[in-house]
Amino acid sequence: MKHRLITSLAVPLLFLAACGGEPETQRYGSEPPLPDPQRGLLPSMEIASPAPWGEQRPAVPQGYAIAAIATDLRIPRQTLALPNGDILVAEGRGGGAPALTPKDVIAGIIKARGTSSVDGGDRLTLLRDADGDGVFETRTVFASNLNAPYGLAFVNGRIYVANQDALVRFDYQPGQTTASGPPVKVADLPSALNHHWTKALAASPDGRFLYVGIGSNSNITERGMPAEVDRARVWQIDAQTGAHRPYATGMRNPTALTIQPGTGELWAAVNERDEIGPNLVPDYVTSVRDGGFYGWPYSYWGQNVDTRVQPQDPQKVASAIRPDYAVGSHVATLGLAFSTPAMGAQFADGLFVGEHGSWNRSPPVGYRVVFVPFRGSHPAGSPIDVVTGFMGADGKTHGRPVGVTVDPRGALIVADDLSNTIWRVTPVARGAASSGAASTATPR
C-alpha cells in the first residue's frame, strides 16, 4: 500500500521526464524543416570533455595541410590578417552576468567543465611569418590591458577592436609589432550584464562605418525585457563621431560579421535560441538587411512564434525576416569568413563557418569548420567539412574552433579557444611534398 502510493505520485513526474524526442539528422539550407518545439523535464546537456591534442591533429580535406602556428595563447577568439600578412589574435574571456536562479548556478558549474581553464589574455598577439615558409617565427604582444577583446577589423590604416564594453582603435604603421600607444575609444558598447558578451566587428569597405554585433542578455528573455535594451542587434557606428544606430535587430547572438567581397553586403553568423529541441532553432548565416528585424525574441526562423515570450508582439512577428541559410541547430557558429580563389577550386567561392560546438544537444554537433558554397553571391548547396576532428568519437574534445579568417594569399586561419592554438590550413601545391607545411608547434 505504501509503495503503491509512492509509485502513483512519482509516475506523473517520470512521465514528464520521458517525453524527450530522438535527435534526427541536422538540416541545412534556406528552407530547413522545423520540428515542433519540445522540451523534457530536464534540458539536454552534453558537455565537451577536454583532452590534449597529443600527436593528433585536426583533419583537413585531401590536398590541404594544417599546422599550429601559435600555441599556449590565452583564449584566442578572433583573428585578423593584416595587409603585410601578419596575423593579429584577440584573446580574452568576458561575460560575468550574475547567476539569478538556481539553474544559472548549476549550469555555470557544468558548462565551465567544457572550456579552457586558462585566464583570458585581454590582449592582442601578433604573429609574423617573415619569409613565407609557413612558420610564424615572430610573436609579440601587440596590445594588452584590453577588456575581453573579440571583434577585429582593419580599415584605412587603423585597427579596430571590439572590447566587451567599447569599440576602440589603434593607429597602425605597416610592419608594426606593438601598438604605439593605448587605444582610442570610438564608442561605448552595451555591456550591462553581458550574458552574451562577444562583440563581433566588421568595417564597411570605405571605412566610414563599423558594424558591431551585440548579443542578447538571455536565452529567451528569462532575465526580463528591461535587460534586453540595445541587445540582440547589429549597431552601425560612425568611425569619425562614434554615433550609432541599430542596423538590424532581432538577432539573438550575432557572433561574427563580415563584408561580402564584390557586393559589399554585410553578413552575420547568428546563434539562435535553446531549449526547444535538438533540431530547433537552426543557427544561421545571413546577409543583413538595413533596418531588418530577424525575430528574436518573439519568433524564430521568420515568423514561428516562440510562446515562451510573454507578452507577445504579433506586429513584430509579422515584420520578422527569414534568414538566408541554416547551418544547423546548436552548432554555435562563431566564425565567418568569405573565401578567395587562392584557397583552391573546391573552396573558391563561399563562406567558411567556424562551429564552436554544442553543449545542450545529444549527440553533440558542431566542433568543426565548414564551407558553405556560394553561386552568384548566394549560398548554394550543403555545407562541406573543412576542418574536423576537434571532438573524437569517444567524446574527448581536443579543440573548439572560434574565429575563422581567410588570408588572401591562400590560407585559412582558425582560432581554437580550448587548446589555445591558432591553426592554419593551406592548399598543398600540386606536386609539392605533403610534409611541406608540417606542424611547426605542438599544441597542448
Partner 1 sequence: MPLHPLHRMLLGATVTLFLGVLLSDVAYGQSYEVQWKNFASWLIVGGLLVGGLTLLWALIMLLRADGRSGSPVVYVLLLVASWIFGFGNALIHAKDAWASMPTATVLSVIVVALAGAATWRGFVSLRAQAAS
Residues that bind partner 1 (CB under 8 A): 2, 5-6, 9-10, 13, 16, 39, 41-43, 100-103, 218-224, 275, 307-311
Q: Least distance to partner 1 from the beta carbon of 17, Å?
A: 8
Q: Least distance to partner 1 from the beta carbon of 388, Å?
A: 32
Q: Least distance to partner 1 from the beta carbon of 109, Å?
A: 14
User: What gap in Å lies between CA 123 and CA 148, rounded to an integer?
Assistant: 8
Q: Least distance to partner 1 from the beta carbon of 37, Å?
A: 9
Contact indicator for 402, 415 with CB cutoff of 8 Å? yes
Residue closer to partner 1 (CB basis): 101 or 178: 101
User: What gap in Å lies between CA 434 and CA 402, rounded to an integer?
Assistant: 26
Residue closer to partner 1 (CB basis): 41 or 109: 41
Q: Least distance to partner 1 from the beta carbon of 359, Å?
A: 15
Residue closer to partner 1 (CB basis): 232 or 418: 232
Residue closer to partner 1 (CB basis): 109 or 384: 109
Torsion of CA 15, 19, 20, 22, to 10 degrees: 120
Instruction: Please name the residues in contact with 285: beta carbons below 8 A apart, sequence gap of 6 or more.
Output: 267, 268, 269, 270, 323, 324, 325, 327, 333, 336, 351, 353, 372, 379
Residue closer to partner 1 (CB basis): 42 or 243: 42
Residue closer to partner 1 (CB basis): 306 or 416: 306
Q: 387-403: buried (b, 16+ CB within 10 Å) or exposed (e) per residue?
A: bebbbeeeeebbbbbbb
Residue closer to partner 1 (CB basis): 216 or 421: 216
Q: Least distance to partner 1 from the beta carbon of 107, Å?
A: 9
Q: Least distance to partner 1 from the beta carbon of 222, Å?
A: 4
